[in-house]
Amino acid sequence: MSTVIVKSKLSAEKRIELVHVSLMRNQKFAFFAGLFMVGSTTIDERPVTAYTNGRDAGYGRAFADSLTDKELAFLVMHENMHKCYRHLTTWKALKEINHKVAGAACDYVINIQLVDMDPDEEFIAFPRSKETGELDGLLDPAYRGMDTKQVFDILMKKCKGGKGGKGGEEGNGNPIDGSGKGNAKDGTNQPSVGKFGDKEGFDAHDWDGAQEMSEEEKKQLTQEIEQAIRQGGIYAGKFGGKTPREIGELLNPKVDWREVLKRFTRNNIKDRDSISWRRAHKNFLWQDIILPSILGKRMKYLLLGMDTSGSVEGQLLTDFLSEMNGLVKSVGIDRIDIVYWDAEVQAHEIFTGSTKDIVHRTNPKGGGGTNPDVVVDLILEKQLKPDAIIMLSDGYMHTNKGKWSAITQPTLWCIIGNDNYEVPNGQKLVITN
């Protein structure tokens, strides 16, 4: 029996919109939902592949039409990963040394991460040559876990003399020719990169377009991306997803943990917009696209889960409670539940908005084993309806991810000094001081 391959009749615009929606609803990729909304997305009629300046993304119509749905989803994720890491502004100095090697280094970092996110290609698939079936881009497992600068240094050592491809001339990443990779006048002395020899990435890097943004625009872009990935962590948590480890490192701030705690609490306490799939967004129905509606919601109820197994105690516990006490006063939470837990729930205290001094009224209890799942049991047993949850622990414990999938509220895990702990849902904040 022969297999019939039917080419999609949908336009490139419609297919990319559907890819965005599909990825937003997927547990593995829901984290990136906010990034899809950063900047503009355009379909380019010129014979280009795809490109980004770190804010806006462009896709060549013919190239998009040539890809399967999974390959197109990989391409969309690739461009948005460039945004996420702010490659086009962060690595300007590398571009000035050698724009081709800098672009290749960025691609190697992104592509291995995307492959690791979906190794069985259930939702995204690395683009392949229609003639040979070989991977049509840069991929090398040797660069797993490295950042762009580390890969760049290795590639430069592999280059013959490490010269050529300096930024400034035509082809430094602008999508100006049919390949979508630029058209350098000095292409004859461009060094080969990585194990694929002369093989190049499947997209362009618009370094000049990134630099044409004003300082104010760059600052605003940084804020939009940071907000998008933080909200993405919360959104993904509702689907049982989690923050990718490499990107989580961007969110494990080197700033004072108190500031991050305040930001999370305030973002989820004040009047805010929440996404609901129960009702479709009317503005997109005419395009046959289903997007979530936006519902206004005000948080009035916060649950704080405190690990009192013995390793979380002393001044840090006092400081943490003091921060929460200050937030209750400044933001105006109607109710805060403090749950002290070790191997079991040792205490469940309820403070209303009229109770201002939590620090001196609370009574921490515990000292046994460590099992955060008991907090879920308490929430379900008593049918508690907190609007957000904050957990404090050292992270040396096991969690049942299946059990935590029942928790749909935004959750912040404050982990003391243990960067290796993988949270079962929500967002992780590593406390190092």
The per-residue pLDDT for range 215-242, each reduced to its tens digit, is 889 889 988 988 888 788 777 777 666 6
Neighbours of 300 (CB within 10 A): 15
The Cα–Cα gap between 363 and 349 comes to: 8
Identify whether the C-beta of residue 177 lies closer than 8 Å to the C-beta of residue 187.
Answer: no
DSSP conformation class of 204:
E
SS3 90: helix
Q: Which of 42, 343, 420 has its CA nearest to residue 206?
A: 42
In the chain, what are the domain boundaries? Answer: 12-214, 252-431
Number of helical (H) and strand (E) elements in the chain, helices listed first: 16, 12
pLDDT of residue 54: 94
DSSP conformation class of 332:
I
pLDDT of residue 183: 32
What CATH class has 252-431? alpha beta
Residue 197 exposed, middle or buried by CB count within 10 Å (0-12, 13-18, 19+): exposed
- Helix, strand, coil percent content, the chain, rounded in steps of 5: 40, 15, 40
Pick out the chain residues at pLDDT < 50.
1-7, 161-198, 252-255, 271-273, 294-298
The Cα–Cα gap between 350 and 363 comes to: 12
239-281 tens-digit pLDDT: 666 666 666 555 544 446 777 787 787 777 654 445 555 555 5
